[in-house]
Structure 1
Amino acid sequence: MMPSPYPLEKDLGMRYYASDSPGIGGRLRSSPEDFVVEELPLPISDPNGPYLICRLTKKNWELQQAVKEIAKHLGISHRRIAWAGTKDKNAVTTQFISIYDVTPEAVGLVRIKDILLEVVGRSQHPLSLGDLAGNRFDIVIRDCNPEELAKRVQAATEAVSAGVPNYYGLQRFGVVRPVTHIVGEEILKGNYEGAVVTYIGRTYPLETETAQRARRNFAETRDARAALADLPIQMTYERAMANHLVANPGDYAGALRVLPPKLLSLLVSAFQSYLFNCALSSRIDAGFSLTEPEVGDRLLFANGREDIVSSRNRQAALMQIRRGRCRIALFIPGSEPMASHGPMDEIMQDLMEKSGITAEDFERASRFVETKFAGTLRAISLSADVQADISGESVRLRFTLPPGHYATTVCREFMKADPYVMI
């Protein structure tokens, strides 16, 4: 496997590519139309339910902002809108949302630029994260390196078909400001002031100098009133937090709670994602395979069943993996006690100890955020049958992924490029 040379990927635990072949370079998202995502829904449960299920197609909209705008046009709280998956901003995306207690006629009157809402049915229950069959992607990578382009595309296609590290992608941590996991870690430690200062005050180079200056000033002074005057108007979450601190000096816990509940929970779960990336890279450091099990490895089957690899069943497990019936998985810790079965569990426990985070911290964060952060399994490899077409110096990739998997994880294996050209 080839190490990534990019500091940002290393900081996020994404330290390896599956193949040693050179990448095609290029740039993602030259326009939103170059990154098309179509959510594949699960069956709608009940035509008489109180939740209206709508197909949302949007271009160049961040999901939370799109939901707030839809709610404003409907005259309802944005908390009455739920969704199954968070989609990219700089893209054309089609997904499904549930809206509580609204009529199809009201939805039909919504007119928002680059947003289309279509009623498709009703349900007894709101959508929640993961309530989808998968996502279909149609992506164009432009300005690729023309040298042996077909050969490089073929090598990456074969690598993705065999299996690449199933990292959480850059957008999981924040595209322009990959800061969510750092804020989440501070929340887990109960350091709410640190979480707020990081969220508002941490700077990254892709922001404007005006934004960076406002962030630096807040980080140095903790002056919420000055921050409210300095922060650009489009920074709605940062401004809402600063506004709370102006009215309630020192109430950093309250400032965090002005964030939408889903966003607040995503901050904590982003730290879990970071732990997974780091543990997966540590597995590769140790020379272990993505597809050949070690004694003590956890297995995750397609139907959700779990198992542990032993010396007795190791060959049978290998056969099941090769037949595509299960994958090696890592346990991501949460508020529940973690049993250790093998070297990967020991690696994860060591990461937890180094960070100073315990199961009790996740339990406290669960109460603070009002979301349960249980431990979960995630497969360590991602594979897909990619249809790749070359046109001049552009490469078009079409593929489908299960829920919770990142198209950029596939794209980075093809590109092997600076992550900042992928946003």
Structure 2
Amino acid sequence: MIRSPWEIDQELGLSWYRTDFAGTGGTLRNTPDDFEVFEIANHTMSTGPYLICVLKKKNWDQHRAIKAIASGLGISQQRISFAGTKDKRAITTQYISLYNCSENDISRLSIPDISLTPVGTSQHPIGLGNLEGNEFKIRIRGLSDSSLVVSPESFIQTIAEGVPNYVGYQRFGVIRPVTHHIGLEILKGNYQEAIRVMIGKPGIRMEEREQEGRACYLDTEDPAQCLHLLPNRLSLERSVLHYLVSSPHDYLGAIRSLPRTLRSMYVSAVQSWIFNVTLSLRIEEGRSLYEPDVGDRLIWPDGRTDQTTSATVRAATVQTKRGKCGLALLLPGGTFVPGPGDDDKNISHILEQQGITSDMFGTITKTLDTTFAGSFRPILMKTDLSISHIEEDTIVRFSLPPGQYATTILRELMKSDPISMI
């Protein structure tokens, strides 16, 4: 284990690398074609009101793509469902369902760099439970040290054994890592401050108009004035400002006006940040990622969970060594009840430091019409990885289950400045 030197890694809780070599360096996504994602899913088709389509998009933010599709079809975004959010600067292929749409409707749709291919109908919309995983094909350019990828056997073995299952940069942002900060304010009921962070908090490498628009909101909180300054491409921020122009000071309403997936994203980013920080604390405290201690949480491939005791920890150690189960953390939510383990104690301490209680998750569940009950997340990610070469670049292929991040694997290989990995 070595500590990451990057300030943003420390801020987001991605404090450690499992691998101890210097890294290859390099950059991702020089072009969207460098990053390909293929959704793994098995949909049962039947007669029903939901049209199932394969969505292929290039260099489109997921929420903007869904909004564009809904607009092109003249329907509400609420009629479109999908299993997982895919990367923006990439070529991604995934399934979506559209309620009460026909193949003829789809055939008339024309959006640059978006294609929809109907593949059947279903009685039910696509949801998170339909996602089995994602396959990745990623090109790394500009390596500063290619020795590792010339003889990658040791690295591939380490990835197969498992590395920290950090929630990756995409959940929080790198240019403006604000998602969890917005979520923290929403959880506390500070909706006005949540909007201030969403609109006004600056980032790095911002163009002049964006800097002016964000600074204007921090100074004045005048939505009409800031609308004249923020670039059109900042459609999320602009939609919130438009709402506040028509409904002054209704900050909760502005948040509720966002699509449900976005509302959920902010609070789930808080859970993800707490997971990352807790996992880094476990590493810092010198506790194993592979063998359980008394009080550790366990998770099985079928989703069953347990917590070790002094009477069961030896048997749990045998089970984890055989790969029957793995260690996990319980992400806090409305049903979070801390146990005696060190991880749960650390989570409780983080919640206390941030002024958050489990009741707040329950309250916001009703307020935002979403669910934040808490969930288990494995502390290790493992995959079979292959490395090949095209000219001076490296091609990495692997697959991951739902909720795991390709950049978490790639940061172990590259150890580049995170700004080069988005």
Give yes or no for TM over 0.5: yes
Separation of aligned partners in 2, 1:130 and 1:212: 40
8 Å contact from structure 2 (residues 338, 345) kept in 1? no
Q: 1:259-295 CA distances to partner (integer Å, 9 max, x unpaired)?
A: 1111011111111111100100011111011111111
Using the TM superposition, give the Cα deviation of residue 207 of structure 1 relative to its aligned residue in structure 2, in angstroms: 2.1
Q: 1:220-255 CA distances to partner (integer Å, 9 max, x unpaired)?
A: 211111111111111112112112222222211112
Give the aligned partner of residue 357 of structure 1: 356
Q: How does 1:20-419 map to 2 (within 5 A)?
A: 20-44=20-44, 46-146=45-145, 148-150=147-149, 153-419=152-418
Matched position secondary structure for 1:28: coil
Whichever residue aligns with residue 30 of structure 1, its letter is N
Separation of aligned partners in 2, 1:182 and 1:271: 8
Q: 1:313-365 CA distances to partner (integer Å, 9 max, x unpaired)?
A: 32322222222221100001101141313111111111111111011111111
8 Å contact from structure 1 (residues 387, 397) kept in 2? yes
Q: 1:4-37 CA distances to partner (integer Å, 9 max, x unpaired)?
A: 0001111001000101111110001111111100
Using the TM superposition, give the Cα deviation of residue 109 of structure 1 relative to its aligned residue in structure 2, in angstroms: 2.0
Separation of aligned partners in 2, 1:68 and 1:400: 28
Separation of aligned partners in 1, 2:21 and 2:11: 23
8 Å contact from structure 1 (residues 23, 152) kept in 2? no
- After superposition, the Cα gap between the structure-2 partners of 1:278 and 1:66, relative to the gap in structure 1 and judged at 3 Å, is same
Matched position secondary structure for 2:372: coil
Q: Which runs of 5+ in 1 are unaligned?
A: none
Separation of aligned partners in 1, 2:11 and 2:85: 23
Using the TM superposition, give the Cα deviation of residue 105 of structure 1 relative to its aligned residue in structure 2, in angstroms: 1.5
| Larger deviation, residues 7-16 vs 308-317 | 308-317
- After superposition, the Cα gap between the structure-2 partners of 1:408 and 1:299, relative to the gap in structure 1 and judged at 3 Å, is same
Q: 1:62-104 CA distances to partner (integer Å, 9 max, x unpaired)?
A: 1111111111111111110010000000000000111101111
Using the TM superposition, give the Cα deviation of residue 391 of structure 1 relative to its aligned residue in structure 2, in angstroms: 4.0
8 Å contact from structure 2 (residues 25, 415) kept in 1? yes
Using the TM superposition, give the Cα deviation of residue 146 of structure 1 relative to its aligned residue in structure 2, in angstroms: 3.3
Matched position secondary structure for 1:242: helix
Matched position secondary structure for 1:99: strand
Separation of aligned partners in 1, 2:266 and 2:93: 24
Matched position secondary structure for 2:128: coil
| Larger deviation, residues 321-330 vs 262-271 | 321-330
| Larger deviation, residues 184-193 vs 232-241 | 232-241
8 Å contact from structure 2 (residues 43, 130) kept in 1? no
Matched pairs, number: 422
Q: 1:361-406 CA distances to partner (integer Å, 9 max, x unpaired)?
A: 1111111210010011000010111011134532111111001100
8 Å contact from structure 2 (residues 49, 99) kept in 1? yes
Whichever residue aligns with residue 104 of structure 2, its letter is E
8 Å contact from structure 1 (residues 201, 215) kept in 2? yes
Matched position secondary structure for 1:54: strand
Separation of aligned partners in 1, 2:303 and 2:152: 33
Using the TM superposition, give the Cα deviation of residue 48 of structure 1 relative to its aligned residue in structure 2, in angstroms: 0.8
Separation of aligned partners in 2, 1:391 and 1:323: 37
Using the TM superposition, give the Cα deviation of residue 130 of structure 1 relative to its aligned residue in structure 2, in angstroms: 4.4
Using the TM superposition, give the Cα deviation of residue 152 of structure 1 relative to its aligned residue in structure 2, in angstroms: 6.9
Using the TM superposition, give the Cα deviation of residue 173 of structure 1 relative to its aligned residue in structure 2, in angstroms: 1.1
Separation of aligned partners in 2, 1:341 and 1:398: 40
| Larger deviation, residues 363-372 vs 383-392 | 383-392
Using the TM superposition, give the Cα deviation of residue 206 of structure 1 relative to its aligned residue in structure 2, in angstroms: 2.5
Identical columns (%): 45
Q: Which runs of 5+ in 2 are unaligned?
A: none
Q: 1:141-178 CA distances to partner (integer Å, 9 max, x unpaired)?
A: 11112352336744432221111110100001134322
Whichever residue aligns with residue 43 of structure 1, its letter is H
Separation of aligned partners in 2, 1:374 and 1:405: 20
Separation of aligned partners in 1, 2:276 and 2:285: 14
Separation of aligned partners in 2, 1:264 and 1:40: 26
Matched position secondary structure for 1:43: coil
Using the TM superposition, give the Cα deviation of residue 304 of structure 1 relative to its aligned residue in structure 2, in angstroms: 0.8
Matched position secondary structure for 1:216: helix
Q: TM-score, normalised by structure 1?
A: 0.97
- Tell me the C-alpha RMSD between the 2 structures: 1.4
8 Å contact from structure 1 (residues 24, 153) kept in 2? no
- After superposition, the Cα gap between the structure-2 partners of 1:400 and 1:328, relative to the gap in structure 1 and judged at 3 Å, is same
Separation of aligned partners in 1, 2:61 and 2:126: 18
Q: TM-score, normalised by structure 2?
A: 0.97
Whichever residue aligns with residue 95 of structure 2, its letter is F
Whichever residue aligns with residue 318 of structure 1, its letter is T
Give the aligned partner of residue 3 of structure 1: 3
Separation of aligned partners in 2, 1:301 and 1:157: 24
